Copies of this chain bind each other. A is one copy, B any other.
Amino acid sequence: MSAPTADRAVATGSDSSDTTQVVHGLAKKARTASRSLNGLTTADKNAALLAAADAIEAAADTILAANQRDLDRGAADGIEASLMDRLRLTPERVTGIANGLRQVAVLPDPIGEIVQGKTLPNGLQLRQVRVPLGVVGIVYEARPNVTVDAFGIAFKSGNAVLLRGSSSAADSNAELVRILREVLSANGITADAVALLPSESRTSVTALIQARGLVDVVIPRGGAGLIEAVVANATVPTIETGVGNCHVYVHALADLDVATRVVLNSKTRRPSVCNTAETVLVDAAVAADALPRITSVLQAQGVVIHGDETGMEPATEADWSEEYLSMDIAVKVVDGIDAAIAHIDTYGTGHTEAIVTADLAAADEFTRRVDAAAVMVNASTAFTDGEQFGFGAEIGISTQKLHARGPMGLPELTSTKWLVWGNGHVRPA
């Protein structure tokens, strides 16, 4: 069963200027919607989120049918098995999506928080108040659950959201957004608080990232190529996420049991995600002991080792930059902490960097000097994650320094404004 086009908030532009008009039309509606979202109470928002969760579970059949159309099209197009798996919804996954909204409903509402405030010497009362960003655009890849997760986080933080998902998930996404819009309307909230953008071509991405004055921020979630294309061509502010060439440095004074355990978990827990370790830097002072222990445990788990030592796949310069996202890891022997930090400084992407050491001075120096969103001491890189950090929900992991750095939860989707109350105050010359 296909949803009526009008309800899907998607039009199929016949050429790129049509698509641009469609995107900017939806962005204008989203901007208007965002003004009214700022007037909703936390109770209003939570009620809508819980109603959306119930509606998604109740509509599992139509969601799974839409998903099956995506899967059939994917099979006909011969897309690869891992992508098919990410695309596939099951009754359990639909329940998981609904439960994600319920989790967001119980999170604290960041809007209205007084970040700071004071009374100035002249009696003016100053408050810096947390407010929504306004209109948030998300560009993402295959998983249909991101459609609902992103809506939930954006909506709870008071933002309207424009979703540009993958064309491979077009039917699933359209059905999910149709349900979300229906629930908003039923709850007296403008349906334009969420809209799905056309996904047939890159034109809709370009239109979104150049909708200056209509869209407040665009967050690309996906591979390095997508993120680079978005950041390079955007005139709207963007937040870079998720590209992680993460390192584990095994220091001269590392406990080698800890080193082995941390490296193994950092690489093999989920090799396809951005916080996986891609290079191990082993201090020359312990290389003779550490290298065979670490590599044998990795190899026993099926990890391919790239490096300059015997028994490894010969490494080229490209291996130090490579974000494998697979059961591969590069290994390099480095001459002390300065060389380790210099290597990370050259090849790291500012995501997550770890040191294994029993030496306090080394831990201090590494955490101070390494420039990354997260710096671990004797802990797996896999901990860089909004849920692990206790945020309850995550819209992505920022690898830039402006606005937000590291896992982004609800407060990272907000801005602030200054309220200044007086009683006729004027400023002296």
> Which of A54-62, A182-190, A375-383 sits within the interface?
A375-383
Interface residues of A: mostly helix, strand, loop or mixed? mixed
A131 proximity list for chain B (CB < 8 A):
371
Report if A378-B269 is in contact (Cβ < 8 Å); known contacts: A418-B384, A418-B389. Answer: no
A406, B126: Cα distance in complex, Å? 12
B235, B378, B421: the one contacting A424 at CB < 8 Å is B378
Chain B nearest Cβ from A335, distance in angstroms: 19
| B401 with A405: CB separation less than 8 A | no
A265, B426: Cα distance in complex, Å? 6
A45, B376: Cα distance in complex, Å? 28
B371, B400, B403, B419: the one contacting A375 at CB < 8 Å is B419
Q: Mark A341-370, 1 if CB is under 8 A from B, else 0.
A: 000010000000000000000010001110
A262 proximity list for chain B (CB < 8 A):
424-426
Report if A374-B418 is in contact (Cβ < 8 Å); known contacts: A38-B368, A124-B383, A237-B402. Answer: yes
Nearest-neighbor residue (CB-CB) of A34 within chain B: B371
A216 proximity list for chain B (CB < 8 A):
401-402
| A124 with B379: CB separation less than 8 A | yes
Interface size on A, residues (CB 8 A): 67
* Interface flag for A109 (CB, 8 Å): no
13 example contacts (A-B, Cβ-Cβ < 8 A) are as follows: A35-B371, A124-B379, A124-B383, A128-B406, A133-B401, A134-B371, A269-B427, A372-B417, A373-B417, A382-B426, A383-B427, A389-B418, A405-B415
Chain B nearest Cβ from A206, distance in angstroms: 14
List which A290-336 residues lie within 8 A (CB) of chain B: none
Chain B nearest Cβ from A394, distance in angstroms: 13
Closest 8 CB pairs of A and B: A379-B422, A265-B426, A401-B415, A258-B424, A403-B403, A382-B427, A379-B425, A374-B418
* Interface flag for A420 (CB, 8 Å): yes
B374, B383, B402, B429: the one contacting A415 at CB < 8 Å is B402
| B427 with A377: CB separation less than 8 A | no
A224, B427: Cα distance in complex, Å? 25
A265 proximity list for chain B (CB < 8 A):
426-427
- Given contact pairs A39-B369, A124-B379, A134-B401, enumerate 18 new A-B contacts (beta carbons under 8 Å): A35-B369, A38-B368, A124-B383, A217-B402, A237-B401, A255-B424, A258-B424, A262-B426, A265-B427, A269-B426, A374-B419, A375-B417, A379-B420, A384-B418, A388-B427, A402-B403, A405-B415, A405-B417
